[in-house]
Chain A
Amino acid sequence: MALDMELESVLRAPALEMPPYPAKVITLANSKKMVVRQAKRTEVPTLLGAVRPTLAIDKDFYDIVGARLYAELLGWNRHRVRNEYCLVGQIDGYVVGIVNGRMVDKAIGMSYHTMAIDRGLKIGTHLFAAKMEYHIEHLGQEEVWITAESPIGFRRWMIEYDLIQQEGVQHELGGATSYKLTRDLYFASKSRLFAGQRPVPQDLLDYALQNLFIADGKAIKEKICGTLGGQQ
C-alpha cells in the first residue's frame, strides 16, 4: 500500500529507544529447548497466522486474548502502537507462545498479552516471566502494569507474583483491575519463577531466527483445547 510519508510521519508514534531483548533458551519439563527471542516486525504476518486460529476458541478466553493480540501485533507492524515489542517462544523453530507489551515511558511498562500455543509445559509462565525480565532488567523500568483476562492469568500473575493492586489506575487493556510488578517484587520472585540460560548456543539461535514455523490451524486448536476433552 502506497503511503504518504508526510502524513504517515504524523500518524506514526515516535518511539523510545528500546534495547533489544537478549535471547535465552529454556529447557522444558520434557527436555525440549524453547528459544525465547525478540520478534522482528517483518515476522508479524507469520505470527498473525499463529494467532488467527485462536479467534474461534472460547476456552480460557483465547478468543479475546487472540483478537486483542492480533490487533496489537498489527498495530505494531503498521506503526500505530508506540514503543511496542513482541517476544516469541520457539521449539524446533515452531512458535509455541507469544507475549507482548510496550513502554509507556522510561519508568513504566505496560504488559499486554501472553498466549501459550503449546500447553502443559509452563510455556505461558516462562514467556510472561521473560516479558517481566525485559521490562525490569533490560529496559530498566521501575514497574510493569498488568491485568488479567482469564482465571489462568489471574492465578499465574497476580497470585504467583503477589502483584500490587492499583486502585483507580486504568490499564490500557481496560476492564479488570490493574496490578503492578515493581522491581522489588521482580527480584523477590526471580529465583522462583525465572528460567532460561544465556547465551543461546549459536546453532539453536540461528535455527530459530531463520525458521519461524507455525503449526496449521487444526493443530493449534488441538494444542490449546486438547484432543481428549469433550470426547465421549
Chain B
Amino acid sequence: MRDVAIIGVGIIPFGRRDEDSLLDMLAYASLKALDDAGIGDQGVDAVYVANMGAGILQHQTSVASALVDRLSLMPAAADAVENGPASGASAIKNGLLAVASGYYDTVLVAGGEKMREVVGWKATDFVATMTHPEVEYPYGITLPGMAGMFTRLYMEKYGLTQEQLMAVAIKNQKMGTLNPYAHVDMIITREGIQESPDAVVNNPVAADPLHFYDMCPVSDGAAAVILCPAEKAKEISQNTPVIIAGFGQATDTHTLQEREDPTNLKAVTLAAKQAFKMANLTPNDVDVAELHDAFTVLEIAESEHVGFFKKGEGGKAAEKGETTLTGKIPINVSGGLKARGHPVGATGVAQVVEIVFQLRHALDKNRQVKNAKVGFTLNFGGFGNNVVAFVLRRSE
C-alpha cells in the first residue's frame, strides 16, 4: 500500500444556496480543489462523490458521472458513495484505497448536499430515512429525537450537564463567525440562551433535554479534496502535502435499542483506534480535531470515545475551555457542524478540508491552531452505526 497525500482542497460557503443546484455546488468545490492542487487542466483518474439524498431531495441519481461530465473529466471513473451522514469520509476512504492500491494516481473526492430545497420537517424526515425501517422510522423517530434520548442517558450515567452542552454551542458558534465558509454567523451567549427570562423563547426545548441551539442547522454545501500518492505529491503540486496517516471505519447495530449500553459508541471507539494504530500515533499526538457535532452532546461523547478525554470528562473539559482554539485539544475550531452547517454528504469532506487548512498553517491567526502537525476527523453516520475516522499528518 502506498501512502496517500491530499494535495488540493476546495469548499464553498455552506448555508442556503437557493441559486445553485447540487451539481453546481459539487462543481464549484471540485474546481477549487483542482485549482488548489494546480492540476485544473490535467484531469484525474477517478472521481468519488459523496451524497446522501439527491435521489430523494432532487429526484436525481448518478451524481458522480454527472459531475465528471459537468467538469469535462471524462473518461475518469465515477462512483457515488451513499453512507448516510458519513458519506463524505466514506468517499475519501474509497479514494484513499484506490490510490493506496496503486490503481489510480489522482483522485477527486467531492461531497455535497442540497437540503434547503425542502422545508425543515421534510429535511428532518429525509435524514430519518437512515433509521430502521421497521422498528424505528414507522414510530416517528427522528435523529434529534434519538439525540435527545442519548443525551438523557449520558446525563444520568456520566453527569453531563446543560452548561457543558451550552459551552460547546457557544464555542462553536463563536468559531463559526470566524470561518468564511460557515452557515451560521452569529455569536450566542449564556445570557441569551439560558439565563435571561427571554431565553426560553430564544432557545426552546427541541428534543428534551436538547434545546434549539444544541442542534446543527440544515444546510446546502459542498467540499472536495484531491488525493495522490505521497511520493508524487511534491512533483504534482506546490502545496504542503497532508498525509492520510491512518483511517478507521466501524459499524454498530442499526437500532440503538439493540446495544448493550446505548451510551457506548463502540463504532466511534473502534474507528478511532484503527486510525491511530495505522498512523502509529495516539490521541495525545493530535493538535486539532474535527468531530461530528450534529448535536452538542456528540462533540462531548465523541471526544471521550476517541480517547481525548476519559468517559465523563469530556463535558467538564468543554466547560473549562480545554477544547477551544488555545485549549489542550482544539475541537471544531471551524465551528463544526453546529456552525459550519451539515449538508450531510459534504460534511465528512469538509472536516478533512478544514484539517488540511490547519496543517498547512493557512488560516488566519484567530482560527489557526499554532504549529499544528497532526489532525483528526470523525464522521458519524446514523446514530453511531457507521463511523469513519482519519488521522492526518503534515508532511514536512
Contact = CB atoms under 8 A, between A and B. Distances in A.
Interface string A115-137: 00000111001100100000000
Contacts of A229: 13, 15-19
B186 A27 contact: no
Contacts of A191: 200
Interface residues of A, number: 30
Contacts of B213: 29
Nearest to A31: B189
A126 B20 contact: no
B186 A120 contact: yes
Given A192-B204, A229-B17, A29 B12 contact: no
Contact of A230 (B20, B32, B191, B196): B20
B209 to A, nearest CB: 17
Q: Is the interface of A mostly helix, strand, loop or mixed?
A: loop
Contact of A194 (B16, B17, B32, B201): B201
Contact of A27 (B18, B191, B204): B191
B145 interface: no
A196 B200 CA distance: 11
Please classify how large the interface on chain B is, using the bins under 10, 10 to 19, 20 to 34, 35 or more.
35 or more
A155 B120 CA distance: 9
Nearest to B189: A31
A232 B202 contact: no
Given A29-B202, A30-B192, A195-B202, A228 B119 contact: no
A231 interface: yes
B187 interface: yes
B171 to A, nearest CB: 14
B12 A231 contact: yes
A191 B198 CA distance: 10
Contact of A120 (B14, B184, B189): B184
Nearest to B213: A29
B199 A30 contact: no
Highest count of chain B CB atoms <10 Å: which of A32, A151, A195, A227: A195
Contacts of B199: 27, 29
Contact of A29 (B13, B28, B120, B192): B192
Nearest to B203: A29
A195 B201 contact: yes
A28 interface: yes
B193 interface: yes
Contacts of B15: 226, 228-229
A28 B19 contact: no
B40 to A, nearest CB: 14
A132 to B, nearest CB: 13
Contacts of A228: 13-15, 180-183, 185
A96 interface: no
Interface in A181-232: 191-197, 226-232
A28 B189 CA distance: 9
A28 B119 contact: no
B31 to A, nearest CB: 8
A232 B26 CA distance: 11
Contacts of B138: none
Contacts of B180: 228
A195 B203 CA distance: 11
Nearest to B205: A192
A78 interface: no
A138 interface: no
Highest count of chain B CB atoms <10 Å: which of A26, A29, A195: A29
A59 interface: yes
Given A120-B186, A192-B201, A28 B13 contact: no
B201 A126 contact: yes
B197 interface: yes
A57 to B, nearest CB: 12
A59 B15 CA distance: 14
Contacts of A197: 197-198
B188 interface: yes
A151 B120 CA distance: 10
Interface string A46-74: 00000000000001000000000000000
28 contacts: A27-B191, A27-B198, A27-B199, A28-B192, A28-B198, A28-B202, A29-B188, A30-B187, A31-B189, A31-B191, A31-B192, A31-B196, A59-B18, A121-B186, A122-B202, A155-B119, A191-B200, A195-B201, A195-B202, A226-B16, A227-B185, A228-B180, A228-B182, A229-B13, A229-B19, A230-B17, A231-B12, A232-B32
Interface of A: 26-32, 59, 120-122, 125-126, 129, 151, 155, 191-197, 226-232
Given A122-B202, A151-B119, A192-B200, 8 more contacts: A125-B201, A129-B201, A155-B119, A195-B197, A228-B15, A228-B182, A229-B17, A231-B12
